[in-house]
Amino acid sequence: MTAFALPMASNDGGFIPPTISDTHVPDILPWMAEYGTGFGKQMLLVILSVVLIAWFFKVAIRKPKLVPGRVQFFAEGVYSFARNTVGRDIMGEKNFRPWIPLLFSVFTFVLLNNLFGAIPFLQIPSFSHAGSAYALAAIIYFTWIGVGVQKHGIRYFKLAVVPTGVPGWILPLLVPLEIISNFIVRPLTHSLRLMATMLAGHMIVVLAGSGAAYLITQQDNILLNATGVAVIAGSVAMYGLELLIMVLQAFVFTLLTAIYIQGSLEADAH
Amino acid sequence: MITAEVILAASEGANPLLPNWWEVLVTAVAFAVLLFVVKKFIAPAFEKSYTDRVEAIEGGIEKAEEAQAEANALLEQYKAQLMEARTEANSIRETAREEGAQILEDLKAKAAEESARITAQAQVQIESERVAAVNSLRTEVGTLATSLAGKIVGEALEDDARSNRVVERFLADLENQQNAGVSK
């Protein structure tokens, strides 16, 4: 894949490191158009993820048994992770039930799209593209603001930015900070944390791949060729680390979703 | 090898923070579809499976507890019955022993009574027979003696007056003699 996607050697034969642009393969529709003008691989994968998630969990629970089989057991494990570990533990017994579908969707959606980066030939974590991360974070941003307004009315914005139990003279300092932290920084960190980790992981894979390819195919020195093999070996360890980060970021993203919504529901409690 | 120009050239790539709006749209729509499917089909199915299992397990535990309680009750009942049966057997044995002793005692008393009765009866009989014998002897001895004496003395006894006197005297003597024997 890297062979056609990445220009490996410049005219003078030096190594050109892959750039951010290389994480965007040309669009499919219109065919081979430049990135950003049409329908690309990343979007195909996003749609594929929805189909896969819906299909897998639908099939896994089609004939539920009291003593689950292997597939049902796995599916229920994922579901109860989103439901209990994230939903119930964060939002509490009282609030969590209506939010199970959202948390489950967010978790599986982010998890599978991240794992795409670890599957050969698919090999791109969808959220390494900022657009996807912004979209999902925005949905959640408007969700928790909507929840707050619905629950507390317009008073919610006061609850969200004016901390209680602090002396009045410090409020002029605190309120702007709270506004920035809650309504501006929060959605940015929420989306960029996911995007940056995925992009970085993807760049490492691309860099290792192109570097190894360059060292092995473009160099005549046998020692440098051997170094290329060593790079591949090292990238396997990076691959393992990436897998961990992919799962962890899916968890973190879902966890933050739950925390934000919980914060809106209980805005008057603190 | 990696010159400043190369790095500069690399940094001219797309800004990773600028989104492709198509991606934003596709992701938002895809997520909305996923959320709809999950909310409509997947989550209810999993919740139902979860509830069913909780019910089945709790029902099973309840059933097991019931069975356990029943078994315990039965065991208690059996134990009580066993105890009762044992007590009863003991009391029956005790009663039987007492009754046996009683019967033995009765039989002994009855036998003693019977033997005493037989003895008494025999004595009475002996006494009455003796009296009868004495009476019959008294009459027969008189007649026999008279006839014997007549044969011996013959006509000497033709004289009624005399013979009457003799018999009278003899009988008186005999009587005296007997009286003396009785008083003796």
- For the ranges A8-17, A52-61, B100-109, B153-162, the lowest mean pLDDT is seen at A8-17
Q: Is B183 on the interface with A (CB under 8 A)?
A: no
Mean pLDDT of chain A: 85
Q: Which residue has the higher pLDDT, A31 or B131?
A: B131
In a domain? residue B110: yes
Task: Let me know how many helices (H) and strands (E) chain B has, helices first.
Answer: 4, 0
Task: Give me the amino acid identity at B44.
Answer: P
Handedness of CA B173, B174, B180, B184 (dihedral sign): positive
Residue B163, both tokens: 């013979």
* Cβ contact A60:A75 at 8 Å: yes
Q: pLDDT tens digit string along B154-167? A: 655 556 677 777 77
- pLDDT of A9 > 50? The answer is no
Q: Say whether A80 and B50 touch across the interface (CB within 8 A).
A: yes
- pLDDT of B13 > 70? The answer is no
Q: What percent of chain B has pLDDT over 90?
A: 48
Q: pLDDT tens digit string along A186-222? A: 999 999 999 999 988 888 888 888 888 888 888 778 8
* Conformation bin of residue A179: beta by default, left when phi > 0, alpha when psi is -120 to 50: alpha
In a domain? residue B141: yes
Residue A113, both tokens: 């799209």
Locate tokens 């192109």: which residue? A210
- pLDDT of A270 > 90? The answer is no
Categorize the per-residue pLDDT at B149 as very low, low, confident or very high, splitting at 50, 70 and 90: confident
Helix A222-265 and helix A186-217, axial crossing angle in degrees, nearest 10: 170
Q: What is the dihedral of CA A60, A61, A66, A68, to 10 degrees?
A: 10
Residue B109, both tokens: 């008393």
B109-123 as b/e, with b when 16 or more CB fall inside 10 Å?
eeeeeeeeeeeeeee
Q: pLDDT tens digit string along B100-126? A: 999 999 999 999 999 999 999 999 999
Domain boundaries, chain A: 2-269
* Partners of A29 in the β-ladder: A39
Task: Give me the amino acid identity at A262.
Answer: Q
Q: Which domain holds residue B72?
A: 40-183
Query: For residue B87, what pLDDT is reported?
Result: 95
Q: pLDDT tens digit string along A234-267? A: 888 888 889 999 999 999 999 999 999 999 998 8
Residue B81: burial class (beta carbons within 10 Å; 0-12, 13-18, 19+): exposed
In a domain? residue B84: yes
Query: For residue B82, what pLDDT is reported?
Result: 95
- pLDDT of A23 > 70? The answer is no
**What does pTM read for this prediction?**
0.69
For chain A, give the number of residues. Answer: 270
Categorize the per-residue pLDDT at B89 as very low, low, confident or very high, splitting at 50, 70 and 90: very high
Distance of residue B69 Cα from the nearest chain A Cα, in angstroms: 26
Provide, as residue numbers in chain B, all residues whose Cβ is less than 8 Å from the Cβ of A100: 43, 47
Phi, psi torsion values for A69, nearest 5 degrees: -80, -170
Q: Say whether A136 and B27 touch across the interface (CB within 8 A).
A: yes
What is the rounded distance in angstroms from the CA atom of residue B151 to the CA atom of residue B22?
A: 185
Q: Which residue has the higher pLDDT, A63 or B152?
A: A63
Handedness of CA A89, A93, A96, A101 (dihedral sign): positive
CA B52 to chain centre: 55
For chain B, give the number of residues. Answer: 184
- For the ranges A8-17, A63-72, A174-183, the lowest mean pLDDT is seen at A8-17
Q: Is B24 on the interface with A (CB under 8 A)?
A: yes
Handedness of CA B161, B165, B168, B174 (dihedral sign): negative
In a domain? residue B14: no
- For the ranges A23-27, A91-95, B145-149, B166-170, the lowest mean pLDDT is seen at A23-27
Q: What percent of chain A has pLDDT over 90?
A: 39
In a domain? residue B27: no
Residue B115, both tokens: 């033997």
CB atoms within 10 A of CB A63: 9
A152-164 as b/e, with b when 16 or more CB fall inside 10 Å?
beeebbebbbeee
Query: For residue B93, what pLDDT is reported?
Result: 94
Mean pLDDT of chain B: 84
What is the rounded distance in angstroms from the CA atom of residue B131 to the CA atom of residue B126?
A: 9
Q: How many domains does chain B contain in total?
A: 1
In a domain? residue B172: yes
* Cβ contact A1:A123 at 8 Å: yes
Query: For residue A29, what pLDDT is reported?
Result: 66
Closest residue in chain A to residue B48, using alpha carbons only: A64
In a domain? residue B5: no
Locate tokens 């979860």: which residue? B50
Q: pLDDT tens digit string along A142-174? A: 999 999 999 998 988 888 888 888 888 888 888
Residue B84, both tokens: 């009762």
In a domain? residue B179: yes
Provide, as residue numbers in chain A, all residues whose Cβ is less than 8 Å from the Cβ of B21: 131
ipTM of the complex: 0.85
Query: For residue A36, what pLDDT is reported?
Result: 62
- pLDDT of A18 > 60? The answer is yes
Query: For residue A32, what pLDDT is reported?
Result: 59
Q: Is B61 on the interface with A (CB under 8 A)?
A: no
A15-30 as b/e, with b when 16 or more CB fall inside 10 Å?
bbbbbbbbbbbbbeee
Distance of residue B74 Cα from the nearest chain A Cα, in angstroms: 32
- Among residues A215, A66, A97, A221, the alpha carbon closest in space to that of B55 is found at A66
